[in-house]
Amino acid sequence: QVQLQPWGAGLLKPSETLSLTCGVSGGSFSGYFWTWLRQSPGKGLEWIGEINHRGSTNYNPSLESRVILSVDSSKNHFSLHLNSVTAADTAVYYCARNLPFSPYYFDSWGQGAPVTVSS
């Protein structure tokens, strides 16, 4: 049973960079897309982007200018960096596993990592 565990800073000031890492254990790291999503009361569930073990990425165009995903396959980790944060980026951030074939669903999720942006 694959498990995902996110960690990172939970309180940021406007204009800072959000950085979260997700560790994967109990399953294969290759052969999947590893995904970041977020959930806020105002915008619901939002897909941020995905990365595979080779570092190939896909991003949500609405966030692409501020997002970088990275991967460390030797440690089974993948990371999210979101720069120039504002209060609108306050949300619970989830890491999840995405099956790399149709119908493209998220079958395993980590616990949520709450992030607050406040001056």
Partner 1 sequence: DIQMTQSPSSLSASVGDRVTITCRSSQRITNYLNWYQQKPGQAPILLIYGISTLQSGVPSRFSGSGSGTDFTLTISSLQPEDYATYYCQQGYNRPYTFGQGTKLEMK
Element (H, E) at 17: none
| Binder among 16, 68, 81, 106 for partner 1 (CB under 8 A) | 106
Q: Identify residue 110 by its one-letter amino acid code.
A: G
| Binder among 8, 19, 40, 46 for partner 1 (CB under 8 A) | 46
Angstrom distance (rounded) from CA 70 to CA 112? 19
- Taking residues 4 to 43 in sequence order and writing x for each that binds partner 1 by CB under 8 A, - otherwise, the string is ----------------------------------------
**C-beta of residue 23 within 8 angstroms of C-beta of residue 5:** yes
Interface segment toward partner 1; rule CB under 8 A; list 15-23, 24-32, 57-65, 77-85: 57-65
* Residue 54 DSSP SS3: coil
Interaction between residue 116 and partner 1 (CB under 8 A)? no
Q: Region of 9 please: left (phi>0), alpha (psi -120 to 50) or beta.
A: beta
Count of Cβ atoms closer than 10 Å to residue 54 Cβ = 9
| Binder among 15, 28, 83, 107 for partner 1 (CB under 8 A) | 107
Interaction between residue 110 and partner 1 (CB under 8 A)? yes
**Contact residues for partner 1, defined by CB under 8 A:** 44-47, 58, 60-62, 94, 96, 102-107, 109-112
